Amino acid sequence: MNDSSTPTITVYGIPNCDSVKKARVWLDQQGLAYQFHDFKKQGVPAEALQHWLDKAGWERVLNRKGTTWRKLDAETQAGVVDAASAAALMQQQSSVIKRPVIDWGQGSLTVGYTPDEWPPAA
């Protein structure tokens, strides 16, 4: 089903995240092949992070509802005011990135578990 003309899908996140688990199950159910990039083991590629911020906006990529964000001190939270400060924090603490980030290929990107926004299976 997946030939050389099919874009490569990359799922970014951490394996024990419930949203990432649900996304991987959804992709498997659709028969879509994908690569998994583990933030904890592989880090967050700076070029990829910049692409996410450009495409989705830093407010969407930054997870202000998660445990990691809530554990940050008020000064650190208050220091996140723009894409540059958000990117710096996301590089230091990848767990503040909303998960999963899915690069669908050909410039298409989604953030979070949002199957209603995802491209239909080929």
Average pLDDT (69-82) is 97
The structure tokens listed for 38 are 């583990």
Measuring CA to CA, which residue among 89, 88, 53 is closest to residue 71? 89
pLDDT > 70? residue 1: no
For residues 88 and 91, what is the distance between their CA atoms, to the nearest angstrom?
A: 5
% of the chain residues with pLDDT over 70: 92
CB 31 within 8 A of CB 121: yes
pLDDT reported for residue 5: 52
For residues 102 and 87, what is the distance between their CA atoms, to the nearest angstrom?
A: 18
Query: Was domain 9-117 assigned CATH 3.40.50.410?
Result: no
Average pLDDT (73-95) is 96
Phi, psi of 58 (to 5 degrees): -65, -30
pLDDT reported for residue 14: 94
pLDDT reported for residue 6: 57
Tens digits of residue pLDDT in 92-109: 999 999 999 999 998 899
**More confident position, 6 or 67:** 67
CA atoms 89, 114, 53, 42: torsion sign? positive
pLDDT reported for residue 107: 84
**pTM, 2 dp:** 0.89
Sorting pLDDT into bands at 50, 70 and 90, what band is 3?
Answer: very low
Tens digits of residue pLDDT in 38-60: 998 999 999 999 999 999 999 99
Task: Quote the strand ranges of 2-117, DSSP E.
Answer: 9-13, 34-38, 101-105, 108-111
- Following DSSP, what letter does each residue of 12-25 receive, concatenated? EE-TT-HHHHHHHH
- What are the catalytic residues? 17
